[in-house]
Amino acid sequence: MLRFTIKCPHCQSHGIARGIEKVSPTSWLLDFQCDDVTCGHSYRTRIDMFPPETPIPRRVRRETASLQFNE
């Protein structure tokens, strides 16, 4: 299992991601909590994907053509 961590801005220990909120198709808010029990600081970060457009736009599904065989 992968744990997403960012250093705590107060004590520089590992901060572990505890929650995630999707803001848009290319942006998320992550809630972190310091892993050091004496610090226990909670903080929020924002992750944005650049460029803000999705890299490959979704295509409209085409109709399937029925095949006709000459018999």
Q: Is residue 16 part of a domain?
A: yes
Q: Is residue 62 part of a domain?
A: no
Q: How many domains does the chain have?
A: 1
Q: Is residue 56 part of a domain?
A: no
DSSP string spanning the chain? ----EEE-TTT-SEEEEEEEEEEETTEEEEEEEES-TTT--EEEEEEE-SSSS-SSPPPPPPPPPPP----
In single-letter form, the type of residue at position 61 comes to R
pLDDT digits (tens, 9 = 90+) for 3-38: 788 899 999 999 999 999 999 988 999 999 999 999
**Phi, psi of 12, rounded to the nearest 5 degrees:** 70, 10
C-alpha span between 3 and 18 (Å, rounded) = 10
- Does the pTM surpass 0.75? The reply is no
Q: Is residue 38 part of a domain?
A: yes
Domain span at residue 42 reads 5-48
